[in-house]
Amino acid sequence: MKAVILVGGLGTRLRPLTCNTPKPMIPIANRPFIEHVILRLQRQGVTDVILAVQYLAEQFEALLGDGSRFGLHVHVMREAEPLGTAGAVKNIEHMLDSTTFVLNGDALTDLDLQAMLAFHRERGSKTTIALTPVDDPTQFGLVEMDRDQRVQRFLEKPRLEDVTTNMINAGTYIVEPEVFRYVPPGQHFMFERGLFPVLLQTGDPVFGYPSRAYWTDIGRPQNYLEVNQDVLIGKVQYPIAGDVTSNRIWMQGQVDMHASVQLVGPIVFGPDVVIGRGASIIGPTVIGAGCHIGDNTAIESSVLWENNQIAEEVTLRNCVLGNQNTIAAHTVISGGAIISDQCQIGEHNRLDCGIRFWPGTRLGDKAISF
Ligand code: GTP
């Protein structure tokens, strides 16, 4: 069985974290998300993964190689320019010979793909769309079905009074390759606004597969911290690398910490982390490889990627730091703030309210404070 993973998007909503790292490669619990998706496919019987890449394509090639590390074949297929979700699959249509999984590269889910495949076959479906319920249907594209779960209509962000279902497209599909005859080659074409409406017009059977499996789109900034926290508290199946202690502290290598450090799990530590006297780390928190944390610094419910240098008396709470940032003493970063890569933040700053710093930002001492 083959699977296509769509990973060519720009990930604009998650900027600036996606300025240097494509969205499907951003780490969750210190592991590039795409590795988790590929391992999940391998466990579900997929033998060949075709990665439809465009933005920052070379990073996928470098990380995944030919896939042998994951026990399957990975084929990285580049698009010269973004072709959209359905256009990207059209571009590699020649590699598809039978029923195929197609996955958005930014959906974290533990959906049972084999059960979905059995449903697809039993209904004689040409395209089956995994569906997930949401609390506020007015913010999403909804999928309306009849009693047999055959799709009748797509509703884009309806007004409250027009809402007839709370089921949305979860970005996981099972397709018969023949449906791509409706997709124009070499043109930007999407599933939701392009191919699916055409299939309803032509009468090709399109079915919805609702499920209550865990599902989240990692590409929404407010979701990124939450996803890491869900993984650490075990709300979704996502194996975390490293040795784990009874108080849910994962060590992925050498961590050099002063005896006075206070730890409250769940916490994931990458290798080569150094933590100074009197510091406290409160979970759910992820500390990436090579981070240095100064004396009396407090970190809570945050995600730090690699090689961040945090000085003494800093507070990090509910925030994300990308790679190689330097945070000077007495600064407070909280409230969903995102500091991307190679930023230098001076002393005595207070960064809050979802503030976002693009790569390479320099901020002097006491530049933002209140
Ligand atoms: P936003 O810009 O934040 O909306 O993110 P995105 O660019 O990733 O778009 P979106 O979340 O709608 O994309 C869903 C999935 O399809 C993601 O995994 C994208 O990487 C992928 N994708 C979107 N557009 C393209 C494309 O033109 N080519 C390929 N190969 N993949 C795409």
What residue ranges do the domains of the chain occupy? Answer: 2-232, 247-363
Report pLDDT for 370.
65
Our answer on whether the CB atom of 219 is closer than 6 Å to any ligand 1 atom is yes
CA separation for the pair 60, 6 (Å, rounded): 12
Please say whether the beta carbons of 106 and 172 come within 8 A.
no
Note the pTM of the prediction, 2 decimals: 0.91
Report pLDDT for 258.
94
Please say whether the beta carbons of 196 and 182 come within 8 A.
no
Give the length of the chain.
370
Atom of ligand 1 nearest to the CA of 217: 11
Buried b (16+ CB within 10 A) or exposed e, 19-43: bebbbbbbbbbbbbbbbbbbbbbbe
Our answer on whether the CB atom of 8 is closer than 6 Å to any ligand 1 atom is yes
Report pLDDT for 73.
96
Report the 10 Å Cβ neighbour count for 335. 14
Our answer on whether the CB atom of 137 is closer than 6 Å to any ligand 1 atom is no
Residue with the two structure tokens 């979970």 = 283
CA separation for the pair 134, 154 (Å, rounded): 15
Fold of 2-232: Spore Coat Polysaccharide Biosynthesis Protein SpsA; Chain A (3.90.550)
Our answer on whether the CB atom of 306 is closer than 6 Å to any ligand 1 atom is no
Which of 4, 5, 7, 223, when mutated, tests ligand 1's pocket best, judged by the most ligand atoms within 8 Å of its CB? 7
Is 247-363 the same fold as 2-232?
Answer: no
Which of 33, 104, 216, when mutated, tests ligand 1's pocket best, judged by the most ligand atoms within 8 Å of its CB? 104
Our answer on whether the CB atom of 127 is closer than 6 Å to any ligand 1 atom is no
Mark the ranges of the chain whose per-residue pLDDT is less than 50: none
CA separation for the pair 280, 263 (Å, rounded): 6
CATH 2.40.50.100 fits 247-363, yes or no: no
Report pLDDT for 181.
96
| CA of residue 204 relative to chain centroid, distance | 31
In the numeric block, which tokens belong to residue 243?
């040795």
